[in-house]
Structure 1
Amino acid sequence: MGRSCTVWLILVFVTLVFGVVAGGYAWMVFQKLREGKIENDRIVELSTIIHRGAMAFLKKEYTWLAPFVGVVALLLWWMLGFGSAFAFVLGAFCSAAAGYIGMYVATNANGRTTFAATKDAGSALETAFSGGSIVGMVVVGLGLVGLAVSYTFLSVETLTAFGMGASSIALFARVGGGIYTKAADVGADLVGKVEAGIPEDDPRNPAVIADNVGDNVGDIAGMGADLFESYVNSILAAMAIGLAFSFTEGDRALGLWGVGFPLFLSAWGIVASIVGCMMISKKAPYAECIVGIVRRIPGMDKVMERIDGGDAAFALRAGTFTAGAMMIAGTFILSILFFWSKSMHVFLSVTSGVLAGVLIGYVTEVYTSGDYRFVKTVAASSATGPATVILSGLSLGMQSVGIPVLLICLSTLISYSLAGMFGVACAAVGMLSITGIALSVDAYGPISDNAGGIAEMSELPGEVRKITDKLDAIGNTTAAMGKGLAIGSAALTALALFVAYSQAARIEAIDIMNPKVIVGLLLGGMLPFLFCSLSIEAVSRAAQAMIEEVRRQFRDIAGIMEGTGKPEYEKCVAISTHAALIEMVIPGLLAVLSPVVVGVILGKEALGGLLGGAIVTGVMMALFMANSGGAWDNAKKFIEEGNHGGKGSANHAAAVVGDTVGDPFKDTAGPSLNILIKLMTVVALVLAPLFR
């Protein structure tokens, strides 16, 4: 008993310490970021407007979600006890905090990135990435601190409600933020670029402020909450399975060792992520010391020279790959310390997840980057109009599903053959172990996008916009890679949570010859399609209202095109805000209530079928939509660089139409699906005792 208590105390202490380390690193970088002054009044004014608009929306969204959290917490208290209710509220609070802090930081970094771009590209990259790294470290820090606090008072079984709270807020944040940003984006592009023929982010466009606010609402707050829930649910799934797992029948269960391994793995991932961030951003605390050590590694001096030369894409990849390599090395040592005789089984399981995640990211880049033939083919199809752009993008998205799914299958088979379902769960933790730097790279994109908008509205020299556009294009690719990684990890995490549900509900096998199970499978397979339909329809309705408003202002406000009349930006912001808050409710409730209804009416085996069907179609749809949307976006940017007629050409107009179709694909419905399948599974896991 004494030994178990000691192990438990070490687990809680280490988890808490490394969570605090991540938060402390984020705080120090934020202080360094704030030291940079913006010596341009127009940049300060625009950055402040975007900041206020973004924070105002987030406060309204959280005000709407507070009653939902309160009602669900009371129900959990009534059905499962105070522990589950406490964990749910804490998970929801941490997820909301991750989104709020990320939004605050990003809207403080965008204007500073714009001003840094007036100096040189290297300064702009460093500033944007510094903002992104704060977001990344806040997410992983909050995740580990929240888990440590919950684990101090609760059992592993009860702790799963923490993941349910995180997933609930993340889904609403992703859907609401996605509707907000894409309604504004579609309206701004179709009326501004295509009909009025004015540049992107032109201050004469009434939707331009709503569009820039939306970049933060959807791609920072929504994404932060999204990856927060992915991160904590992968750890929770591994903890739940590890508690009772034994490598062979008759062995003692791993117990606290199985619980502790994913926590230590995640703690080491923070160290690896911090080192990767320091390689990219010299503003990071103690970065010079770490970079000095890295330079002594054979071959790394040339890598650092290329990073110092301002190669943004190379710098982001180098930092991520360095973190991944450190993660694999640390996993080897941790596997020996925790499992000794079975260390290679667990090490190779985690490594399969890390490598699958990196390869999925690379495959996503190949399909969505303008440097490769797939996006160039989509861009070339613009010569025959928007219909062929849409067809080529749809085809690309469907094709892009193949290799990532094969990689997920391969990682699943390898990890399961080596360490059973504990291996699969650890592979998912391995994929998300370097979330700190993965999210840093991801969040850098929206900050660069905002910086470009501010540069355009501030009427800065064209050289400044070229720098921000280049950073934004790289950010689009890194964001697509991040979405691919999140979707891949979602598949493994959902599978692990599914097994944990089966254990908790005492289901030994699911018979697909059982009509109720078949019904569950069909319903589960249908839900991602229904969910996507509701999300895209919501964007469409909001975009229609936005388009009509922008057209009205162009028509009725005298002098708007000449620059003498002032657009009514606040009306476009109000349209996006209202649509996002109203339209996010039904998709969110669909995810939460579906497992409950099926479990109560059809039973626990049918609920298992529902989860299986949702995982299969959800993963496929998420990959397809994210990659199609990313390819359409970068095909448009490829044309805007001067290819196929450049800006203002018929090819450009066709590509803009493709991009507007892809916007809700890649930023609303697609990324929400990986939360959907995990939320449904974790709801089933939390409520499993009721279905026994």
Structure 2
Amino acid sequence: MGLLLAGIFGVLSLIFAVALSISILKRDQGTERMKKIAKAIQDGALAFLLEEYRTMYLWVIIFAILIGIVISPYVAVFFALGTIFSTLSGFFGMYIATRASVRTTNAATKSTGEALFVAFSGGSVMGLTVTGLGVVGSLLTYFISVKFLPQVSPLVAVTGYSIGASFVALFARVGGGIYTKAADVGADLVGKVEAGIPEDDPRNPAVIADNVGDNVGDIAGMGADLYESYVGSITAAIILGTLTLGNNASTYIYLITGYGILSSIVGVISSLVASKINIAPQKALNIGSVIANIFAIIVFFIISKGIPNGTNYFVAIITGLLIGLAIGFITQYFTSANPIVEIAKSSSEGGAATTILSGMAVGMESTFIPLLLIAIGIIISYRFSGLFGIALAGLGMLSTLGISLSVDAYGPIADNAGGIAEMSHLSHEVRERTDTLDALGNTTAAMGKGFAIGSAALTALALFSSYIQSMQMDTLNVMSPYTISGMFVGTSLPFLFSALAIMAVSRSAGYMVEEVRRQFREIPGLMSGKADPDYKKCISISTKGALKSMILPSLIAVVSPFAGLIIFMSYGKEFTGGLLAGALLSGVILAIYMANAGAAWDNAKKFIEQGNFGGKGSEAHRASVVGDTVGDPLKDTAGPSINILIKLMTTISLLFGPHIVKFLVK
């Protein structure tokens, strides 16, 4: 009955997402020029995704064949199912987002509250689709393996499914991140810094590619990313829960996820109502989050009281949930308020150099308290419920993902809405409204990334514990030279991965800069607004750069566990254990640093654009744009991809490790 109820809530989430989609599509798109611009963004986003999926699924097929040969053909099917559901979660979210943006722009001609309602409705489609597909897909995998495939352990089945979700998420995050930031950096450096024209000015040849990038990176990529985080947390809880409670653990875990979805639906409705009655945007979004989490806490307590030791499990879940909220609010502080004022002040006093230095300092400072909270959460959840408690804390952190992702996904929609307003030559008042929503969106996006990396730390630790047990090791001996060597190599992997992703953005952005300069130089009448730029050329540059560069960073996560297990033979399990531990520790701190530093630079730029420290066109503004372009690939390409990297490495090691070691011993 518990599994059925969780499935019903998952389906309900999808139905609500469809209902919101229909209501969005019925809204007016505005003028013919707005429709034309929106259509160009929609077509560009769709074209890139199809090319990205075509490239990605070649690797999916290869890896599925490997799973079928080494593990089981049935597990290969579950892996494929995970890739399909992950792809759908990102695609549907992006499809509606690209249509919600122009309708948000049109709603902004009426009021900020109306624009917030449309943008948040679009973001909620993403949030509800990800959680609905996440619980339905995981539940379907578990049910099929238990009822129809007794030869396949349900733990192995859900692990295969989770790897499929992670596989797609990594390609989507890296590929989409490279695309969006190459276009964004190229557009800003030439348009805003060199030419001195406004952001999203239609004369800028890279402006359509920039708006396309918001959707393929910050919507489709983010959807696949958080789908992977959600499924990974469920998988870790099921594996360790089964070892603790037996098969009854799955019912408890799926009930938690199901009621978490119901709580998110309540939260989404609350925020939509708040936006309708013109409550301030920040408060409207906070209302939904607070109500959803209070509702979840009450329901989780009732569910937990009905099972043995349930109170201890409840404490672990709530520990994760509260720490997730705390990390979100800490992120909100470091990406707004005093820190961004200090960065803006540095821009006015010392130019680009001090802008970058102050942003780096803010990003570094922002890592301490979240890591301290994660450490406290690990200790509390372990003291109450052992390793299962750590997995439950990770699950609790993402239990209300439906509302937190809705808040996160609304940001790129508001950003696109502002771009459409600028390109459509709408009034200054409309652009001010969309800019207000966009600035808030940067903070909510940073909060979402904080949630994702916090849950990644707890989930990866739980999966890491499962890896140690599957390798029949009592513990990981940190005095072993193989373990320490693995830790050194593993610590460096997130840095190598980030370097490849950032360099890919830099190369593509370089091509974009040259192309924008060429068009400004060679197209007569472009700067005076009498001629149109060649938008398609810039879209092509971003597309080719992303597709070419996304493969190598993504393969690091796939290849490194195999390399560690095979190269070091009988000591491979120790080396790989150290590899996973090192990647987890360095990856978490690096991801938080890059996400928060990037968001702080972006919001400092927006603070100056509001008229502070000289406003738009000032020396401070030019310096802040440089800071923003440095932060873009950190916060939207490398940073959010690291949490996928560390979990994919761990799940691959967990699934393949015992088989490889067994083969090598023979």
Q: Note whether the superposition's TM-score is higher than 0.5.
A: yes
Aligned to 2:523: 557
Distance 1:456 1:505 in 2: 58
Q: 1:546 aligns with which of 504, 512, 515?
A: 512
Distance 1:450 1:558 in 2: 28
CA distances 1:190-245 after superposition (whole Å, capped 9, x unpaired): 00000000000000000000000000010000000000000000000000000011
Q: 2:333 aligns with which of 363, 366, 385?
A: 366
Say yes or no: does 1:574 pair with 2:543: no
Equivalent positions of 1:202-351 (< 5 A) are 202-245=201-244, 254-282=245-273, 308-339=277-308, 342-351=309-318
Distance 2:292 2:197 in 1: 42
Q: 2:68 aligns with which of 66, 77, 87?
A: 77
Distance 2:532 2:40 in 1: 15
Identity, % of aligned positions? 53
Aligned to 1:498: 464
Secondary structure class of the residue paired with 1:335 = helix
Equivalent positions of 1:27-176 (< 5 A) are 27-154=18-145, 155-176=154-175
CA distances 1:339-382 after superposition (whole Å, capped 9, x unpaired): 3xx1221111111101100000000000001xx11111011000
Higher mean displacement: 634-643 or 258-267: 258-267
Q: Kindly indicate whether the alpha-carbon contact (under 8 Å) linking 2:141 and 2:157 is maintained by their aligned counterparts in 1.
A: no
Counterpart residue type for residue 318 of structure 2: T
Aligned to 1:352: 319
Q: Kindly indicate whether the alpha-carbon contact (under 8 Å) linking 2:490 and 2:579 is maintained by their aligned counterparts in 1.
A: yes
Counterpart residue type for residue 190 of structure 2: V
Q: 2:5 aligns with which of 6, 14, 19?
A: 14
Secondary structure class of the residue paired with 1:338 = coil
Counterpart residue type for residue 455 of structure 2: S
Tell me: CA distance 1:69–1:11, structure 2 relative to 1, closer, same or farther (3 Å): farther
Counterpart residue type for residue 279 of structure 1: S
Q: Kindly indicate whether the alpha-carbon contact (under 8 Å) linking 2:381 and 2:393 is maintained by their aligned counterparts in 1.
A: yes
Q: TM-score, normalised by structure 1?
A: 0.93
Aligned to 1:629: 598
Unaligned 5+ runs, structure 1: 1-9, 246-253, 283-303
Distance 1:264 1:426 in 2: 12
Residue 685 of structure 1: how far off its partner (Å): 1.0
Q: 1:597 aligns with which of 563, 566, 574?
A: 563
Say yes or no: does 1:662 pair with 2:613: no
CA distances 1:470-508 after superposition (whole Å, capped 9, x unpaired): 000011111111011111111000001101111222121
Say yes or no: does 1:416 pair with 2:416: no
Q: TM-score, normalised by structure 2?
A: 0.96
Secondary structure class of the residue paired with 2:199 = coil
Distance 2:4 2:314 in 1: 24
Q: Kindly indicate whether the alpha-carbon contact (under 8 Å) linking 1:307 and 1:314 is maintained by their aligned counterparts in 2.
A: no
Residue 309 of structure 1: how far off its partner (Å): 2.9
Q: Kindly indicate whether the alpha-carbon contact (under 8 Å) linking 1:121 and 1:310 is maintained by their aligned counterparts in 2.
A: no
Higher mean displacement: 171-180 or 78-87: 78-87
Aligned to 2:340: 375
Residue 11 of structure 1: how far off its partner (Å): 4.4
Unaligned 5+ runs, structure 2: 146-153
Runs (4 or more) in structure 1 with deviation over 3 Å come to none
Q: 1:427 aligns with which of 393, 415, 430?
A: 393
Residue 420 of structure 1: how far off its partner (Å): 0.3
Distance 1:149 1:487 in 2: 27
Distance 2:75 2:579 in 1: 24
CA distances 1:607-628 after superposition (whole Å, capped 9, x unpaired): 1110000000000100110010
Distance 1:30 1:584 in 2: 31
Q: Kindly indicate whether the alpha-carbon contact (under 8 Å) linking 1:105 and 1:131 is maintained by their aligned counterparts in 2.
A: yes
Q: Kindly indicate whether the alpha-carbon contact (under 8 Å) linking 1:639 and 1:647 is maintained by their aligned counterparts in 2.
A: yes
Counterpart residue type for residue 686 of structure 1: L
Equivalent positions of 1:458-497 (< 5 A) are 458-497=424-463
Secondary structure class of the residue paired with 2:307 = helix
Q: Kindly indicate whether the alpha-carbon contact (under 8 Å) linking 2:397 and 2:451 is maintained by their aligned counterparts in 1.
A: yes
Say yes or no: does 1:526 pair with 2:526: no
Q: Kindly indicate whether the alpha-carbon contact (under 8 Å) linking 2:114 and 2:276 is maintained by their aligned counterparts in 1.
A: no
Higher mean displacement: 600-609 or 126-135: 600-609
CA distances 1:438-466 after superposition (whole Å, capped 9, x unpaired): 11000100000000000000000110000
Higher mean displacement: 579-588 or 509-518: 509-518
CA distances 1:502-557 after superposition (whole Å, capped 9, x unpaired): 12221211111211111111110010010010000000000000000000000000
